[in-house]
Every structure is written in structure tokens, then in C-alpha cells.
Structure 1
Amino acid sequence: MSELDLALVHALQVRPRASWTDLAPLLGATAVTLARRWERLTEEGLAWVSAVPGPAFTHSGCTAFVFLRCAPAARERLAAHVAELPEAVTVELLAPGRADLMLDVLAPDLGTVHRFVDEELAALPDVLDMECVFATSLYAEGTRWRLGSLDASQLSVLGRPRTVDGAGTPLADLRALDRALLDALVRDGRTRLTELADLTGTSAATARRRLHRLTTAGVTGFRCDVAPAVSGLPVSVTFRGHAPANDVNRLHRTLATLPECRLLAAVTGAANVLATYWLRDIGAVQQRETAACAHLPALHITERALGTRTVKRMGHLLDGAGRRTGIRPIRPW
């Protein structure tokens, strides 16, 4: 990975659909060079852009985290099977402990999650035990995570991402064209408007107008994901803990400010805080826990789940090195 590669990825984390022409002056390279480098990064599975649920999803959709336990010999088999299910948008293998797999589940409503968990997952012969908790507030997630390769002046040129509330935007109002556009953009978030038009059987002008509506309404957003070879953070750890109810709303001002924070949510259950960090090595796990508790003294960590491999991340299949190898499109809308 060159410095230009890292800067390019960071720029796309801020503006995932920015044109190469717009980014060229900022990164000190030609548009052709940037396009060629991005093509290499995506072909090697090192970085990719995809459509993900936007802010409106937190108001009308449902996010759950499911912890599965299985026999040791069934771990890989179960992970591969669950990765084929569209409701399980992220599948991570955990080091042996209370659970063997952690799933991020996204669905349009609570009933869909219950049916998926109670009828589909519970019926799998390899599943020995299961726990499901629901996100009540999401303070940080992968869309907001940054690589940290650009300096302050470059970030200033890129500008701050536009804040979209999305409250009150019903997912049920999506048209067939909207869902077709989302399907295409989940596969490749940088698909050009002309290609989107061809894929969905409409005009480029209509595709532009519908996509603008989807993004401004907060139905969808875009994020640039990376393999550990790019992030330099190969260790994933998920902390679960408990904080008094009156301290939970401080999470976004405390734990979410720590630079390695990848996910932070208030959840249902006795352990009402769930946080995932990407770290440089296992030795940093204790350091991050100490820092988290220092930022929020009332927090009591009850569980530390070390990720051994991410099998699927937001619909994209990954190999043992965390490189993208395929896709199982998500459809939470």
C-alpha cells in the first residue's frame, strides 16, 4: 500500500462517490491514476464502496446482534451457512468463549428479526445456543470510521459529510426502481449513473433523481470498507458491558471518540453497551478497555469477545486475510 493508496481510501471514506476529477487536485495525482489505483484495490479485494442503510433505517428499521454457540467442529460450517442468509449482514467468528459467532442482523421491522432468529437460525442443527440483543441507539458504525491518512487541510477541502436525520422516512414507500438501484449499489457503490440506468431499465436522469431522493431522505448511505492490510488493524474485539441508564447517552461523547472504535451501540439486555474496536495487536485489547473505562467510569465490562475472522461484512464475503472475494447482497430496506 502506497501513501497515495491510503489517501485515496480515506478520501472515499469521506466522499464515497466523488469523481476522480474532483479528487485529483486534492491527492496530487491525475484522474486516470486514481481510477487505475482504485481498480487495482478493488480487484485485489483490499477496498470497496457499497450502499448501506442510512439514518432513516434507525427510525423505521431494526438492528440486532445475535451470538451463536455451536460445537467446535461446526464453527466454519455454520459460519459459511449463515453467511448465505441476507438478514445476517455481518458474520464474525469469535475466539472460543460464551459464543462462537457474532452476527449483525438488519431487517425492516422487529417481526422480521424474530422470524429470522426464532424460525431460521434456531432450526439450524449446528446451533446449540443463541442470544439476541437489539440496538436501541447506534452511536458509531462503519460508515463513520476513518483511516486517518489525510491531514486537516485535505479534509477541509473535502468538506464535512452532510448530516441527514431521516426521521419519518418510511421504508415501505420505496418503489421497485428504488430497490433495484439499491441492489446495484450494494454490489458496487461507485456504479455510474449510466450503468445504473442500464441495470434498472431507466434513464440516467431518473436514476440520478431517485438516488438523490434516497440519499437526502436518509434511506441509504455509502461507505468504503477495507481489508486489514489497508487499515493496519488486524485485531477485532467486541466489549459488552453495563452502564447506568443515565450514563448511556454519554457514549457518543466518550467511547465513540476513541479512534479505533468501529461500532458502538446501546442495546437491550443486562449488558446494555456493545462496542467493537479494531486494534493493531492483542496487547492493545487491555489498553482499549482501560481507556474506555477511564472515559466512562460507570461502565462495567462483562465480556470481551475476540474476533478470529470476519466471514462477511455488510454483505461482502471475505477470505482469511479479510480481502473481499464475493458478495451476498443485503436487502434490509
Structure 2
Amino acid sequence: MVKTDRTGPAADRTAAGPTAAAAFDELDLRLIHALQVDGRAPFSRIAEVLGVSDQTVARRYGRHRGSGALRVLGLSEPRALGAVEWLVRVQCAPDAALPVAQALARRPDTSWVSLMSGGTEISAICRTAGSEDGDALLLQKLPRTPSVVGVTAHCLLHEFYGGPQNVISKSGALAAEQIAALSPPPAQVRATPWVLSDADRRLFDVLARDGRAPLAELATATGWSPTTVRRRLEALRADGVLYYDVDYDLRQCGFGVVVALWLSVAPAELAAAGEALAAHPEVAFAGAITGPHNLFASLLCRDTGELYRYLTTRVAALPGVRTMESAPRIRHIKGAGPFLAAAPTALAARSRR
């Protein structure tokens, strides 16, 4: 699976380099960074921190959201729910890869579905209620077709970078004091997993499409009062069950290459290598996984030349690396949010995987 800076509307992606999409300007990047810090922060608060008017912030967000270049997602944190995530790689015949990928994307328990390399491999993240449920999803519920020639699954053991952070978090678009002014209180770690009610699930269904959905809309979906919705949002966020992510067009940030990176690292060096990798500005997601490759990352580079320099310098210098495999993403099907089959053409900004 390739997690970038966040899920984006479905669209073809190539590794050829940046497209002609108009670039985000400095204020756009600061707005995106602010929303990454707090996706539901009032525009008045964001405007005060950025030193612009409320109307400017609202217009910028409205214009980019309307074009499909930017949106806020409200997402559930799998570990807080006791869920397990699996990185799945599906090898297909070329003519079957897209239909299989789209079938996977339509499932509510998948995210970050992409076509990789020459279009014969699909990568995806699959979520299960627990490790004992993995076989049911991975071996029985994947699309059954003679054109699927191989499936491998790797359990995500530890996340070094991702979740509520992405590449924009490393950009320096906001100063430290601006980030502090927007940051909500840190989430607490619960000893036991949250159990979502049916109303909670309806709440997350709306937030996954629009993390800034008005309280009235959320109240209608859940059957709660707006006051109850507000309190529930605060409680879910305080316990680390709910976080906000930003989906934005990577091309408008100058990124033309999205790459999945698998590394085999000596066990004694895995933690050090993962932490070092997570600090690299090119890394949108990094996590320890099961299997012969025990460290996975999603990379964002401006072009193939920058990717080559990165792989042969900083990746090569990571401690304990034994082998490396990389694959460019050629088509983005689904990100962290729901599958949007007819969405405007735009590239996701968060590779969470």
C-alpha cells in the first residue's frame, strides 16, 4: 500500500513527473498545515494564527475543496479500536488489475488502494477487528478471479510516522508557535479499546467524507443533539479514537513521484532505522511490518532524479539495511477516506501507507 499525505480523489497517477496542475502558494501551504494540526479549527482561529482575515481563509478553503484539491477527513485510529492493519500486495494479470483494485476499494475495510509498478500489482491496507480475523479477510473475501496470481499480507506492527502527521507537518509552513497555538490537547492512551456504537459509526461515515461537516449535519446522521455531537467529538479525540487528516493535491506541491519502499533491516537496528526514516522529509508514512521486508515507507519525491539521490544517500545510510525494494505508484484508487469513483482529478497528499 502506498500511503501518501492523505487520501485523495481517485485519479490516474504516473511516475513521469509533476503535471501542469497549478501550484499552491505560500498561504495555501500554511492553511493546509493549519488544518493538519486541527482539521476542525474555526476559520477565525486559523485566520488569527495566519495573520489574515476570516474571509480569506474561508475563500481559500472553499475554492480548493470545490476543485477537489483539498479536503479534511475525520478518521478513526485503528489501534484505539483494537483493530489490526495489514499491508496486502496482490499480483494480477494486467487486464484484471484495475477491476480487482476497484473491487477492493469499494470495501469499507480497505484504504490506500493503488496500482503499482507496471500495473500488475495492487497494494492496499486492510483493517480487521483483530489478528485472528486476518484469514477471513485476506484469504476468503478478496475478489475471486483466476487472474489473481498471488497475494501476500504483512501485519503492521508499529507506526513510526503517519496517522495525524504527514509530509506537510515537516514542511515548516507554520512556525513552532503557530503550531502550538492551533494544537489541541494531546490524546490520552486508553488501557482498553473503544467500542463504537451504531451512532458512532454513522458519525465516522460523515466525517470520513467531510471532517468539517457542520454539527447540524452530524446531529442528523447520529440522532443526537448538536451539543451531544460536540461532546462526543471531544471525547473521541481526547481518547485518540478520532483524528483529522488533510487530503490535498500532491502535484500542486510539486510532487510527481509516489513510491512504496520495502526494506529488510537487521532486527537489532529496526527501531533506529525506522525512527531515522520517519524523520526524512520525503517520508509520508513509515512502519514496521511482518515478513521478509520488515520496514515499509511511502515516499514523495519531485522526480525520479530526486528519488535516485534519496535512495542512494540517506536510505543507503540507514543502520542495518540488508535489502531494498521500491515500486512507483502508477494509479491512485482510494486513500484513507471512502472510495470516490467519480471524484475530480486530484492527487492525495498523505501516504499514510
- Common fold, TM-score beyond 0.5? yes
Q: In structure 2, what is the equivalent of residue 35 of structure 1? A: 58
Q: 1:301 to 1:52 in 2, by over 3 A?
A: farther
Q: In structure 2, what is the equivalent of residue 26 of structure 1? A: 49
Q: How much has 1:161 moved relative to structure 2?
A: 5.5
Q: Secondary structure at the match of 1:52?
A: strand
C-alpha separation in 2, matches of 1:72 and 1:21:
50
C-alpha separation in 2, matches of 1:144 and 1:168:
23
Q: Which moved more, 1:225-234 or 1:268-277?
A: 225-234
1:102 pairs with 2:123? yes
1:74 pairs with 2:92? no
- Alpha-carbon RMSD across the aligned residues, in angstroms, is 2.3
Q: In structure 2, what is the equivalent of residue 288 of structure 1? A: 310
Q: Secondary structure at the match of 1:190?
A: coil
C-alpha separation in 2, matches of 1:143 and 1:251:
21
The amino acid that maps onto 1:24 is A
Q: In structure 2, what is the equivalent of residue 328 of structure 1? A: none
Q: In structure 1, what is the equivalent of residue 166 of structure 2? A: 145
Q: How much has 1:81 moved relative to structure 2?
A: 2.0
Describe how 1:2-21 pairs up with structure 2 within 5 A: 2-21=25-44
8 A contact 1:66–1:105 mirrored in 2 = yes
The amino acid that maps onto 1:289 is L
Q: In structure 2, what is the equivalent of residue 136 of structure 1? A: 157
The amino acid that maps onto 1:192 is P
Q: 1:59 to 1:82 in 2, by over 3 A?
A: closer
Structure 1 gaps of 5+ residues are 325-333
Match of 2:346 among 322, 329, 332: 322
Q: In structure 2, what is the equivalent of residue 44 of structure 1? A: 67
C-alpha separation in 1, matches of 2:207 and 2:145:
31
Describe how 1:243-254 pairs up with structure 2 within 5 A: 243-254=265-276
Q: Which moved more, 1:315-324 or 1:3-12?
A: 315-324
Describe how 1:76-95 pairs up with structure 2 within 5 A: 76-95=98-117
Match of 1:169 among 184, 192, 195: 192
The amino acid that maps onto 1:111 is E
Q: 1:142 to 1:234 in 2, by over 3 A?
A: farther
Q: How much has 1:134 moved relative to structure 2?
A: 0.5
Q: 1:294 to 1:165 in 2, by over 3 A?
A: farther
Q: How much has 1:165 moved relative to structure 2?
A: 4.7
Describe the superposition over 1:7-28 as per-residue Cα deviations: whole angstroms up to 9, x where unpaired.
2111111111110010112223
C-alpha separation in 2, matches of 1:257 and 1:195:
38
Q: In structure 2, what is the equivalent of residue 242 of structure 1? A: 264
C-alpha separation in 1, matches of 2:328 and 2:280:
18
C-alpha separation in 1, matches of 2:176 and 2:154:
41
8 A contact 1:133–1:267 mirrored in 2 = yes
C-alpha separation in 1, matches of 2:81 and 2:265:
23
Describe the superposition over 1:62-100 as per-residue Cα deviations: whole angstroms up to 9, x where unpaired.
011101111112222222222111222111111128x61
Describe the superposition over 1:79-132 as per-residue Cα deviations: whole angstroms up to 9, x where unpaired.
2222111222111111128x6111111222223332111111162343111111
Describe how 1:176-325 pairs up with structure 2 within 5 A: 176-316=198-338, 317=340, 321-323=345-347
Q: Which moved more, 1:2-11 or 1:306-315?
A: 2-11
The higher-RCO structure (CA 8 Å, 6+ apart) is 2
8 A contact 1:227–1:322 mirrored in 2 = yes
TM-score by length of 2: 0.83
Q: How much has 1:297 moved relative to structure 2?
A: 2.9
Q: Secondary structure at the match of 2:164?
A: helix
C-alpha separation in 2, matches of 1:122 and 1:239:
25
Question: What is the count of residue pairs matched by the alignment?
Answer: 321
C-alpha separation in 2, matches of 1:30 and 1:156:
18
The amino acid that maps onto 2:156 is A
Q: 1:256 to 1:213 in 2, by over 3 A?
A: same
Identity of aligned residues (%): 29
The amino acid that maps onto 1:25 is E
Q: How much has 1:230 moved relative to structure 2?
A: 3.0
Q: How much has 1:284 moved relative to structure 2?
A: 1.9
